[in-house]
Structure 1
Amino acid sequence: MQAIGLCRFSYPALGGFQVGHETIEERIAYLYAEARLEERLRLLETVALPCLKAQTDPDFSIVFLIGDQFPARHVQRLESLLTDLPQAVIHREPPRQHREVMKEVLNAARINPKEPCLQFRYDDDDAVSVDFIARLRGTVEDSAGLLRGQRSVAFDWPKGYIAEFGPNGIRAAEVFRPLNVAALAMYVKGGSSLTIMNFAHMKLPRFMPYVSLPDPAMFVRSHNGSNDSRQGLAHKVQVSPLNAEGEALFRERFAIDAGQIRRTFAA
């Protein structure tokens, strides 16, 4: 069964942001500000990509959606970061309505729309466990009876971490956050044009069966200066520096290396 991820990488959509802007020009200026893009690219390199490259089940694809005005020098850097992730493709779009363009991109990525597929959203500053795809497939296979007759079913792993990354390494706290974007996925039956982007992630259980799994920590949600949800619950979480055991867990579970974090953010 095809598994498809979608990452909105500083794409200047019309709508879809919690941080508001008066005009699309203001949004583009905000998203493409040099300091912000530098932070996003560092987080992509050290947090979001390593776990994708280390998936125990590499049978998935992921689309990185960028704007058609994305700065050329940063396109080159993005392409370089994705060189050793053959599952990734970059797709360019002009500013358009958020949900419409996201739905189009996901449906275009389906190899055979008549066959069922798995879909997940992916933020460029978050991470999932290195066995996320494997656990997703296994759980879907175990849920065959539930899937029968359903257009879609949501699967969620609510245990994870809030983390901050910087030149001093990683500060984190364990959290229980149902229906986060990270470690949340959706089954779509064959022949249906539904996508995970048809719905706000927090509202998925209103529209379909919802499976929540109490597995070990499955996600890392980054808290930083430019993430869109910085005004939400994340800033209320008290993070603390990881000790050696915590750093080993992040390395083994999420392929996040504290030494690389220090070097990259100290540069």
Structure 2
Amino acid sequence: MQVVGFCRFSYPAEGGFQVEHDDIATREAYLYSAARMDERFRHFETICLPGLKAQTDPDFTFLILVGSSLPAELRARLEALVADFPQARIVARPPAPHRAACQEVINEARDMAMPCLQFRHDDDDAVAVDFVATLREAARDVTSLLGKHRLVGFDWNRGFIARPDAEGILAEETVTPFWGVAQAMAVQPGVRQTIMNFGHNKILRFMPTVTFTARPMYVRGHNDHNDSRQKKHVIPVELPRLDAAGEALFRERFAIDADQVRRIFA
């Protein structure tokens, strides 16, 4: 079964952000500001990409949606980071309504005559190195369910919330359902709705879902430029620093190297 992952990398969509802007030009100026982009690239390189590049099942496509207005030097920097990641495909689009743009990009990459497994992913989050393999296994385990429904959701709710910095990684385990990371959807042939047509925490309203809790499957990135952290009254999250055992677990489970984090964030 085809597996398609989807990531928005500072795509200036119409809608789709909790931070509002008066117009597209203002949104692009916010998204492409030097401080914000530097942070996004550091998280993308040290947190997001390692686990995807190290997947035990390499048979998947990873779409990275960017704006056609992304400055050339930023596009070149992005291309350099995925040069050794053959599953990655950078797709540039002009600003458009958020859900419609995401749906179009995903459906252009899939074989509409075949069923498809889709997962959403933020550029500062990580999935475990066996996520794709585990997703395929989960789909096989519920074959009967998939045959009865156009859409079926999958959610792995155990993972870590983490903040990288110049000293390493601050992180704590959490069990949080439908958080939008390590979350996927099975789509029947011909169905044009995609995982990006649904709010990640509302997906269970529209389809049957299957939840798994046994193993940590994600790292949810925590940083100053999280879209969800820009609103007023957001409660700060205090995280303990990983010790040597914790750093070893992150390397084994997510291919996240604390030494690389220290070097990139120094």
What TM bracket, shorter-length normalisation?
over 0.9
Provide the C-alpha distance between the structure 2 equivalents of 1:45 and 1:234, rounded to a whole number of angstroms.
Answer: 26
What SS does the corresponding residue of 1:201 show, helix, strand or coil? coil
What SS does the corresponding residue of 1:136 show, helix, strand or coil? helix
Aligned to 2:3: 3
Aligned to 1:131: 130
What SS does the corresponding residue of 1:240 show, helix, strand or coil? coil
Provide the C-alpha distance between the structure 1 equivalents of 2:227 and 2:115, rounded to a whole number of angstroms.
Answer: 31
Provide the C-alpha distance between the structure 2 equivalents of 1:179 and 1:212, rounded to a whole number of angstroms.
Answer: 9
What SS does the corresponding residue of 2:86 show, helix, strand or coil? coil
> Is 1:65 the equivalent of 2:65?
yes
> Is 1:50 the equivalent of 2:37?
no
Provide the C-alpha distance between the structure 2 equivalents of 1:59 and 1:237, rounded to a whole number of angstroms.
Answer: 36
Aligned to 2:224: 225
Unpaired stretches in structure 2, ≥5 consecutive residues: none
Aligned to 1:200: 199
Provide the C-alpha distance between the structure 1 equivalents of 2:212 and 2:230, rounded to a whole number of angstroms.
Answer: 27
Aligned to 1:178: 177
Deviations 1:55-99 (A, max 9, x none): 000010011111111011111110010011000111111111000
Q: Tell me by how many angstroms 1:227 deviates.
A: 1.3
Aligned pairs for 1:1-267 (under 5 A) are 1-110=1-110, 112-231=111-230, 235-266=235-266
Length-normalised TM-score, structure 1: 0.97
Provide the C-alpha distance between the structure 2 equivalents of 1:88 and 1:157, rounded to a whole number of angstroms.
Answer: 23
1:47–1:189 CA distance, 2 compared to 1 (3 A)? same
Deviates more, 1:148-157 or 1:232-241: 232-241
Provide the C-alpha distance between the structure 1 equivalents of 2:206 and 2:249, rounded to a whole number of angstroms.
Answer: 35
Kindly, what percent of the aligned residue pairs are identical?
54
What SS does the corresponding residue of 2:22 show, helix, strand or coil? coil
CA RMSD of aligned residues (A): 1.3
Q: Tell me by how many angstroms 1:236 deviates.
A: 4.4
Q: Tell me by how many angstroms 1:114 deviates.
A: 1.1
Deviates more, 1:224-233 or 1:172-181: 224-233
Provide the C-alpha distance between the structure 2 equivalents of 1:222 and 1:192, rounded to a whole number of angstroms.
Answer: 31
Supply the AA of the counterpart residue of 2:262. Answer: R
Supply the AA of the counterpart residue of 1:171. Answer: L
What SS does the corresponding residue of 2:229 show, helix, strand or coil? coil
Q: Tell me by how many angstroms 1:238 deviates.
A: 2.5
Unpaired stretches in structure 1, ≥5 consecutive residues: none
How many residues matched? 265
Deviations 1:157-186 (A, max 9, x none): 000111111101100111111001110000
Supply the AA of the counterpart residue of 1:39. Answer: E
The list of structure 1 runs, each at least 4 consecutive aligned residues, that deviate by more than 4 angstroms after superposition, is 231-236
Supply the AA of the counterpart residue of 1:208. Answer: M
1:234–1:189 CA distance, 2 compared to 1 (3 A)? farther
1:234–1:265 CA distance, 2 compared to 1 (3 A)? farther
Length-normalised TM-score, structure 2: 0.97
Deviations 1:5-31 (A, max 9, x none): 111000000000011111111110000
Q: Is the 8 A contact 1:2 1:117 kept in 2?
A: yes
